[in-house]
Amino acid sequence: MDPAQFSTDALLSSTFRDDYGLEREKLESLYSKSKRHQWNAELDVEWDRFEPDVDILDRRSDLLSRLPSVQALPENEQASLFKAGNLFLISQVLHGEQAALMTCGQLVNSVPDMDGKFAAAVQVIDEARHVEVFARYLQCHGRRFPIDPDLQSIVTQLLAEHDWEAKCVGMQVILESIALSFFRLGEEKAVEPVLAQFIGRVHEDEARHVAYGVLTLEDRIPQLAEETRERLENWAYDAIARIGGRAGKQSFQSQMQALATTGIDLERFLPALMADFARIHEMDFSGLNDPMAQTVLPNLLRIGLVPERLVPGYLAQGWVVDRDTRSVRDIHTFASETQDMRRVFQDQGIDFADPAQVSRLED
C-alpha cells in the first residue's frame, strides 16, 4: 500500500432539486456572507515575511510549557520540541481540511435542500483554499507529518458514510469544531508572521462551516427515526473518545514521531516526561483550551446528539454535561467525580470507550 494515500468506497445517494429558491433565511445569510468574504491564499498572504527561526505559537498556550521536564531542557531543545509539536498539529489540520474538502463535495450531491447544496458548494472552495494555505505553510518549514492513524480511521468512516446527516455531524460539528478551536487559538497566540496573517481568515471561514452544520442539524435531528438518531449519537461519542484520548486509549500516538525529530535525548527525556504526566493531578490547567468542552460537546447538545444514556460515559472522560442548560464543564480525568464513574464502569465490566456498552450501565 502506498503510505502517501489511502482510499475508501462510498455508496452515495444524490438528490436533484427542480426548485432553486433558498428557503431558510439563516442559511441564505451564511451563503451570502461566504461569497463576500472569499480570499486568495496565493495573493493575500505575504509569504516573503516567513520567519523560520521564531516560535510558531506562543509556548505558554501549550501544556508542555508548564512541565518541569520540559523547563529543564536547554533553550534550543525547547524550541525544537515546541516547533515539532506545532508542525505535527498543523499537519493533522491540513489532512483534516482535505477530508472536509472531499466530504463537502459529497454533501453537494446528497444534501436534499438547495440551501444545503449552496452552503456545501461554497465550503468546497473554502476548504480547497485551506488545503492550499496550510500545505504551502508547511512547505515553508520544510516538514510535514503523515496523517495520524486515529484521524485516518475517522476520515475513512466519514467518507464511507451513506447518510448525509452522519457526514454533517462528523465533519461540521466534530472535526470542524475542533479545528475552530485551534484557529481561534492561532489567531490569539500566533508568533510566526505568516501564520499570524492568514489564521484569522481561516478562523472566520471555519466559523461559518460550523454554523451551517449546527443550523442544519438542529432542525433535522429531531425528525430522524429513533434508530438513526441513536446511531448518530454513538458515532459522535466514538469519534470524541478517539480524538479526545480520555477513554482509556491513547489517541494520536504518532505524535511521538514529531518528538523523534527534535534531536532531544529521548532515553533521558521520556522518563522525566512520563513522571510529570503521572502527577497530572498536580498540573495547572488554567487558561488552556479544551475544544471538546468549548465547542464540540456544546454543539452536539444543541443539535440533540448527547442523550442521557451517554452522559455517564462523558463524565468518565472528564466532562460534566448538563443537558438542561446545554453546558459542559471540563474537570479532566483526575477529578474525583471522573474516577468514581470509572470505578462504576469497571465494577460492571463495561468499557466506557464503547457507546453501546455505556448504554448498558445500570443505576
Q: What is the DSSP string of 243-280?
A: HH--SSS---TTHHHHHHTS---HHHHHHHHHHHHHTG
Tens-place pLDDT, residues 118-132: 888 999 999 999 999
Pick the closest to residue 146 from 26, 19, 45, 6 (CA basis). 6
With beta carbons less than 8 A apart as the criterion, state whether 112 and 17 touch. yes
- 23, three cell numbers: 428557503
Give the pLDDT score at 34: 78
Q: Lowest mean pLDDT: which of 21-35, 39-53, 265-279, 326-340?
A: 21-35
Give the pLDDT score at 216: 86
Tens-place pLDDT, residues 151-189: 888 899 889 888 899 899 988 888 998 899 889 999 999
- 159, three cell numbers: 467518507
Q: What is the DSSP string of 39-63?
A: --TTTSS-GGG--TTS-SB-GGGSG
Domain locations along the chain: 25-278
Q: What is the mean pLDDT of the chain?
A: 89
User: Does pLDDT of 24 surpass 70?
Assistant: no
Tens-place pLDDT, residues 40-91: 999 999 999 999 999 999 998 888 999 999 999 999 999 999 999 999 999 9
Q: Which CATH architecture has domain 25-278?
A: Orthogonal Bundle (1.10)
Count CA atoms within 13 Å of residue 311 on its CB side.
17
Pick from 14-28, 148-162, 298-312 the range whose average pLDDT is largest: 298-312
Tens-place pLDDT, residues 246-263: 887 655 567 778 888 999
User: Does pLDDT of 2 surpass 70?
Assistant: no
CB atoms within 10 A of CB 5: 7
User: Does pLDDT of 17 surpass 70?
Assistant: no
What percent of the chain has a predicted confidence (pLDDT) above 70? 91
Strands 319-322 and 327-330, sheet pairing = antiparallel
Q: What angle do CA 248, 249, 254 make, to 5 degrees?
A: 150
